[in-house]
Structure 1
Amino acid sequence: MKNKLKRINDTTLFWPFMVLLLLLLINAFLTKGFFSIEWKDGRFSGILVDILNRSTYIGIIAIGLTLVISTGGIDISVGSVVAISGAIAAYLIGGELILQGDQQVLVTRTPMGVAITAALLSALILGMWNGFLVSRLRIQPIVATLILMVAGRGIAQLVTNGQIITIYYKPYYFIGNGTFLGIPFSLYILLAVLILVILATRKTALGLFFESIGVNRTASRYSGIQEQRIVFWSYAFCAFCAGVSGLLVSSNVKSADGNNAGDLFELDAILAVVIGGTSLNGGKFNLAGSILGAVIIQTLTTTIYSIGVPPQVNLVIKSIVVFLVSMLQSENFRALFRFGRKSFQMRGAL
């Protein structure tokens, strides 16, 4: 029994799950109606539903970022890609209201399918740019993606002309606000992306290639793994995920803001991956853990707002929680405590 508990304690998801459980217990006592879920207007509604819905923004990005981090890289430009994707979709859809007689008629610049395709294709190209800098030119990942992080925010503002573009086209709202069988449609998108990536990385050798590159890129190359190509497409896919998140965000708020959309998403996504048990040094990764990390971050944010903590304290509390979870997940940290207990027992015996 003791060995079984030890194995559970050493699993990657144990401590993140315990932190999430603790947050839920805190809300059970401090937040009225936190666990209340009701059927309203053909959909499930409640605080828990809102948490899951909003966690999809970071969750989808975290999936792509997990693959990048598994190769030993990092991408801090995903927030800017979110802004660009939402801005392009909003600009192309347009949604201008004009008067025809006594009625207001909506006129769009392009069909919604074209706008979505252009937004996602733009995100993919931006990711390919990052991948080219990292895999071909061998620029440090944090420097390479910092370029797009800064320039991308400017590109988003150029697309929106420095203004907030309001989207009036109602079919577009379904992406981030719609429901299917009463469940937010964004959760289906997250689930679809997660399943596809899990199948690609766990049912084929691709996952082992990612981990091998993260452990030793040079050895992977000499063993026949096309590490440049894998690294290249990992950044492209990460940006694509950020583009999907940009569509969800702009659809949910029914507008595109080149200045604020996706702000600090890169930090939340990195935190979600770390909380989920994927090491920033590369190697083994945990996709389910990254999703769990995204849910923890959104639950923590909701908890802070619900109990009346000033918003400016949000980042401080979030950093403390991430620090504690990271420490609990560290094998060296847990070994230190085990060593400390053994030393104490030895002194007691003497």
Structure 2
Amino acid sequence: MTQDNHTAVASDTTRKLSWGMITQNGGVVALLVILLFNVLVTPNFLHPQTLFVNISQVATIAIVAVGMTLVIATGGIDLSVGAIMALAGAIAPLIFTSAFAEANPELGLALAIIVPIFVALLCGVFNGAMVSFLNVQPIVATLIFFISGRGIALVLTNGNLQTFSNPAFSYLGTGKILGFPFQGYLVIVIAVAVWWLMAYTVFGRQLLAVGGNERAAQLSGIPVKRVKIGAYVICAGLSGLAGLIVVAINSASDAARIGNLMELDAIAAAVVGGTLLQGGKAPIFGAILGAIIIQLVKYTLLANGVADEVALIAKAGIIILAVYVQQARKE
């Protein structure tokens, strides 16, 4: 090989390494830029109440994004997460405001958390079974519950807003420990637990193998169907928990509004965090970073007088940029 060829190869390698470093750290750079802008421009950004609100808002996105990351890592997608949030959020008040719960408040509170999440898990089984056993495309399979799940929630509540006063349940969304929001601790615990699941368990390795090459995974003896169902079940369960948090924050449940467009936020957070849309990669902490970026972009625009509709366009732009960066990494 000539000296010129050596130089060309070295130059190309340098460009690839430099681009790789930029794309790998792009999320952190974007977050720092957004934070710096808000500190300098946005009024009261560092006020404790503002920080509390942002953490409360990002918690639900982050929790759902972690579940979405697992589903996307299998090569799938889940459009039903918002509907599952609405369904879980509709069931909880029906339980702890019932006569049984009033007579047995502690048991009623426990059931108001356990039953909605159990129902959410069943929704995940439905989604996973549709994808795995009936070979329905993930976007179609989850679209079924995207439509029917919210409809079931509206039927259960007769389309009415459910308001309540239950300090014990509301703590899930408004509580603080050492001044830090309780749901923030939940995000940390969930992220660490799912990261450990993916890094140190057979299920985690199998899930990445399925997303990387499903046919090869199947030939190597990996229970592909079971792994896929597991990913959808975890995603649905986390969505149910997020729905309970939203209800607890507002001390009200509105089946028509809870979880609206959450599927877009969760997908955007996962993709911005480095999750490959073709599967095979599940950066859990990247999904948390992506959720923070998505929330801060929305907050920054609204706090500076930009319409919410523009925030939706900005999210779309973020997804496009993230997908472009993913494609650039392959080159």
TM-score, normalised to structure 1, is 0.85
- Paired amino acid for 1:48: L
2:182 paired residue number: 185
Picking from 50, 53, 69, the partner of 1:66 is: 69
Cα shift at 1:12: 5.9
Q: Could you tell me which of 55, 59, 73 is aligned with 2:58? A: 55
| Structure 2 match to 1:41 | none
- After superposition, residues 309-348 of structure 1 pair within 5 angstroms as 309-331=306-328
Query: Could you say which residue in structure 2 is the equivalent of 1:301?
Result: 298
Paired with 2:309 and 2:328, the residues of 1 have a C-alpha distance of: 33
Evaluate the alpha carbon distance shift between residue 135 and residue 325 of structure 1 in structure 2; reply closer, same or farther with a 3 A threshold.
closer
Aligned to 1:26: 37
Counterpart of 1:10, as a letter, is M
1:162, distance to aligned residue in structure 2 (A): 0.5
More helix by share: 2
Partner of 1:195: 192
In the other structure, the counterpart of 2:165 is 168
Flag structure 2 segments of 5+ consecutive residues without an equivalent.
Answer: 1-12
- Counterpart amino acid of residue 159 in structure 1: L
Larger radius of gyration: 1
**1:152 and 2:155 correspond:** no
- Output the aligned Cα RMSD: 2.2
Q: Give the corresponding residue for 1:245.
A: 242
Task: Determine whether 1:113 maps to 2:116.
Answer: no
List runs of 5+ in structure 1 lacking aligned partners: 37-44, 97-105, 336-350
The equivalent of 1:102 in structure 2 is none
1:95 is displaced (CA, Å) by 7.3
Matched residues in 1 for 2:201 and 2:327: separation?
Answer: 29
Given that 1:95 and 1:168 are in contact with CA atoms closer than 8 Å, whether structure 2 keeps it comes out as: no
Query: What is the identity percentage for the equivalent residue pairs of Structure 1 and Structure 2?
Result: 36
Q: 1:108 to 1:92 in 2, by over 3 A?
A: farther
Deviation at 1:249, TM superposition (A): 0.3
Question: How much has 1:321 moved relative to structure 2?
Answer: 2.8
Q: Point out the structure with the larger strand share.
A: 1
Which AA in structure 1 matches 2:246? V
**Matched residue count:** 316
Residues 125 and 232 in structure 2, CA contact (< 8 A), matched pair in contact too: yes
